[in-house]
Amino acid sequence: MLVSAQTGSGKTVGFGLAIAPTLLGADAKFPKAENPLALVVAPTRELALQVKRELAWLYANAGAVVASCVGGMDMRDERRALARGAHIVVATPGRLRDHIMRGSLVMDGLRAVVLDEADEMLDLGFREDLEFILGEAPEERRTLLFSATVPRSIVTLAKRYQKDAVRVVTTSENSQHSDIEYRAMSVSPRDSENAIINVLRYYEAPNALVFCNTRAMVNRLTTRFSNRGFSVVALSGELSQNERTHALQAMRDGRARVCVATDVAARGIDLPNLELVIHADLPTNSETMLHRSGRTGRAGRKGVSVLIVPPKARRKAESLLRGGKLKAQWGEAPSAEAVVKRDEERMLADPIWEQPLTDAEKASAKKLTDLHDVEKIAATYLRLFNSRQSAPEELSPVGAAGAPQPRAAFGPSVWFSVAGGRAQDAEPRRLLPMLCKVGNLTKEDIGAIRVQQDLSYVEIRKASVAQFLTSVGKSMTVEDGAKLVQLDKAPDIAKSPRPAFVPKDRDSGPKPRKPRHKNRAAPPAEKTNDAAPIDWNDDPIPRHKKPKKLAQPVHKAKNNKPEHKRPEGVVTPYKGKRSAGAPKSGPQQGGLAPKVGKSSSKKNRARAKIAASLKAQARKGGKNPPK
């Protein structure tokens, strides 16, 4: 089967029922647990543990033994559980592959394999692990793929590993989830975190999930919410499995009301009282946004999905909604006044007002009415009620469209010219503060600034011209003595034409030579146009393969007298010290080789030292003559 259905529609129970006839057959209970009969693969640890709980509840009366193999847990405990036997194994891809390669999981008896949230496993890079797992499973098996979306990669995987698959598409796959209300809230760039606090206060959901794109943002928001009095937990990949499990359990028990998480919690996590999902950071694609929002509005319950949209992210938010075929209600984040008003509505709508008073409560109320009037008692109750709540944040005003408001029309104006232009390094960013300071204006009073070669033109609002002229004075000069002139009309500013492009003529002649070093020989005279063009490819031998020319010996002249070269074949006699019995002329017979020159290396110095020692022994007639 290849099934796609909305989040929260019961896919876990769906594939649990689908594989039941394959596992049980005609029996009502499972036999003694040995090798696993079914394998369920999930992308994240939290989803795998949740699927294990659901299947244990579903197959409880059939006596099924369900084991889990997930990363972050003790692998020795998992191996012992598999050795004792299990009917169904729920695992994550990486840990499952480890068990298969170590031989602790025997897959010969598998009858069914289920890939839950298969598209997410491919997105997380588990394709190689999935192919290995499916390749190790028996050929005669059932393969079921379940996911909220079925992209092309899932279709390719299904064609490769499924036989005669039945495609199941829910009727509401292409329509918006009716139980989830989408709201896009425009906020100013600096009020994103404050807007999240007001959203949490406005809805006061029993459980709320705030999604971030990075772990650093998770830590930041967790600290901020904790300081504001929210009972908050964090859920990200840097936490250990025990910490992540405790965080989710705190949400289920009611000990925590807000969970700040990365996308690790966007797949399959089911929190019964989750009524609010906030996208603090916009997701990367529409599928991720659908899975994030799908944590609420599950099993017929209502939920709200809120997108926090700064001005720069508006186009991205519209693209995500369009890609997910979703319609969101655009507006601003709840203000502080709206939060206070909502608190009063919840207070008055509380069913505690309908409960009858007990005798003890009547006695206490009588004491209060005797001491204080009714108005003071009511005001004190409101103060106590508000003191238990976190104070809302004041938000900066932002347009309903969420984009920066365009500048209004400038209106009537007067043009002035200022001496100095591009030749004097004049720039608008320097002229604007100078004119504001000299003319006692604001930047709203100055319109266009046009810098030319030797002059600059400035547009000033007509209502501010009188004040500007008074501040400048009769001298009509600004900083550095630049002359200021009032114009009768707008200047005729023509754009300077761009210089025409002149292509280089490659055949017009040889390229000019670079200047050579002063010690090098002068270059040959340039050839005229009448000379034949140079053919650089007429040399049959490549330049890098030509043998290098040996340097010729240079014989310097001494005292302006030419130095005579040594005739070929003539050997100069050795003029060093002679050994005992050696002839007076010619090379030394039986002695050491002549010393050519001083060497700087350690090895040559050592050899010279040994040679000198042997030479001294030879003179003294030592027992060890030199060899």
- Give domain limits for the chain: 2-169, 180-341, 413-486
- For residue 41, the model assigns a pLDDT of 93
pLDDT at 254: 87
Sole residue written with tokens 């705190």: 250
Backbone angles phi, psi at 167, to 5 degrees: -85, 120
The pTM (predicted TM-score) of the whole model is: 0.54
Superfamily of domain 2-169: P-loop containing nucleotide triphosphate hydrolases (3.40.50.300)
pLDDT, position 466 = 87
pLDDT of the residue at 587: 46
Give the torsion sign (CA, 283, 284, 289, 292): negative
CATH architecture of 180-341: 3-Layer(aba) Sandwich (3.40)
User: What is the structure's pLDDT at 379?
Assistant: 86
Domains 2-169 and 180-341 share a fold: yes
pLDDT of residue 198: 93
Low-confidence ranges of the chain (pLDDT < 50): 400-404, 585-592, 594, 598-599
Residue 586 confidence (pLDDT): 47
Spacing of C-alpha 200 from chain mean position:
27
pLDDT the model gives residue 404 = 45
Q: Is 413-486 CATH 1.10.3720.10?
A: no
- Torsions phi, psi for 460 (to 5 deg): -125, 140
Rounded distance between C-alpha atoms, residue 484 and residue 77, angstroms: 87
Q: What is the pLDDT of residue 400?
A: 43
- The SS3 call for residue 308 is strand
Residue-by-residue DSSP string for 171-225 = TTTTS--TTEEEEEEE--TT-HHHHHHHHHHHH--SEEEEE-SSHHHHHHHHHHH
